[in-house]
Chains A and B, each alone.
Chain A
Amino acid sequence: MKAAVLVFPGINRERDMARTLRLISGRAPAMVWHADTELPHGTDLVVIPGGFSYGDYLRCGAIAARSPIMDAVRAYAGKGGLVLGVCNGFQILCEAALLPGVLMRNENLRFICRDVYLRVERSDTPFTRGYNAGQVVRVPVAHGEGNYIADGETIARLEGEGRVLFRYSSPDGMIDPNWNHNGAINAIAGIVNERGNVLGMMPHPENHVEAAIGPTDGRGLFAGLVDQLAKAA
């Protein structure tokens, strides 16, 4: 795995992400500054981490999405390269039109910082091959704008094409408003693009990978990607 973690002004989760990538892949990722115009040669995973890029000014991720590096990311994704956007990274991918829809203010207007349960909807993708379909994982969220919204046609397409990879659920995998902390349509927590190579998700799997700290349910996502890339190599 030759990962590249993008860093925009105001991003604050890049070090957690880099640590997780190093722990699980065995190789420290390249840290790529937003003003660069090229990704490192041979990059096979681009990660856009969480934080408050540009202070969430204008709209979350709006300004970061228009950074020079995003043209390179767009070209790389266009050729099928894997992209993972977490939290602010998901917002940036939507603003960059690499994913449909938009993340809006949490329904109860509160910044929510706690563990949630996610149902993994399918396991036959590069991002979820480390899990079983229907498996429930526990990962933390920390966001004020995670309420995924898209028009009816887009939602129907996402659902019809199996492009929702993670949903907020109860601990035993039931979809229930009481377990949807931010009001996202259909409890959508993470989606992929049409081609399936770009994933955006609001929760932080990179923070649940070390037993010394807590649950390790986040490992499966990264370990699965390492597997996927080793196979492809």
Chain B
Amino acid sequence: MKARVTVTLKSGILDPQGKAIEGALRSLGLAGVSSVRQGKVFDIEIEGGDRAKAEALLKQAADKLLANTVIENYKVDVLG
């Protein structure tokens, strides 16, 4: 089964990299972007077809490693 875990910074956490990207977009002449925050995407292949088990496994993976829950949120999407 294919799954995707998206990790993003919690709101309120400063993101200087996001700010730098914002500035770069502006200097490219792309007006109208008011803010950018950078996150991470993990594309994961899970063995077997049990959806609930896959979600539980991915939540564990996110809690234990993929996200630093001090500063990051995560979203788990099992794509089937």
| A interface with B by C-beta (< 8 Å) | 58-59, 62-63, 66, 95, 100-102, 104-109, 149-151
The total of chain B residues at the interface (CB under 8 A) is 11
Q: Which secondary structure dominates where chain B touches chain A?
A: helix
* Cα-based distance from A109 to B14 in the complex (angstroms): 12
- Please report the number of residue pairs spanning A and B whose Cβ atoms sit closer than 8 angstroms: 31
Closest beta carbon of chain A to B70's beta carbon, Å: 5
A105 contacts B71, CB within 8 Å?
no
| B interface with A by C-beta (< 8 Å) | 13-14, 16-17, 20, 64-66, 68, 70-71
In the complex, what residues of A have CB within 8 A of residue B16's CB? 105-109
Q: Which residue of A lies closest to B71 (CB)?
A: A102
Which are the 9 A-B pairs with shortest beta-carbon distances?
A102-B70, A102-B71, A109-B16, A105-B16, A59-B68, A109-B20, A107-B16, A102-B68, A105-B17
Closest beta carbon of chain B to A43's beta carbon, Å: 27
Closest beta carbon of chain B to A159's beta carbon, Å: 18
Q: Which residue of B lies closest to A151 (CB)?
A: B70
Q: Which residue of B lies closest to A106 (CB)?
A: B16
In the complex, what residues of A have CB within 8 A of residue B14's CB? 104, 107, 149
A58 contacts B65, CB within 8 Å?
yes
In the complex, what residues of A have CB within 8 A of residue B71's CB? 102, 104, 149
Question: Given A105-B17, A106-B16, 10 more contacts at CB 8 Å?
Answer: A58-B65, A63-B65, A66-B65, A102-B68, A102-B70, A102-B71, A104-B14, A107-B16, A109-B17, A149-B13
* Cα-based distance from A165 to B65 in the complex (angstroms): 29
In the complex, what residues of B have CB within 8 A of residue A151's CB? 70
In the complex, what residues of B have CB within 8 A of residue A63's CB? 65
In the complex, what residues of A have CB within 8 A of residue B65's CB? 58, 62-63, 66
In the complex, what residues of B have CB within 8 A of residue A105's CB? 16-17
A95 contacts B17, CB within 8 Å?
no
Closest beta carbon of chain A to B33's beta carbon, Å: 18
**What are 25 A-B pairs at a CB distance below 8 A?**
A58-B65, A58-B66, A59-B68, A63-B65, A66-B64, A66-B65, A95-B68, A100-B70, A102-B68, A102-B71, A104-B13, A104-B14, A104-B71, A105-B16, A105-B17, A107-B14, A107-B16, A108-B16, A109-B16, A109-B17, A109-B20, A149-B13, A149-B14, A149-B71, A151-B70
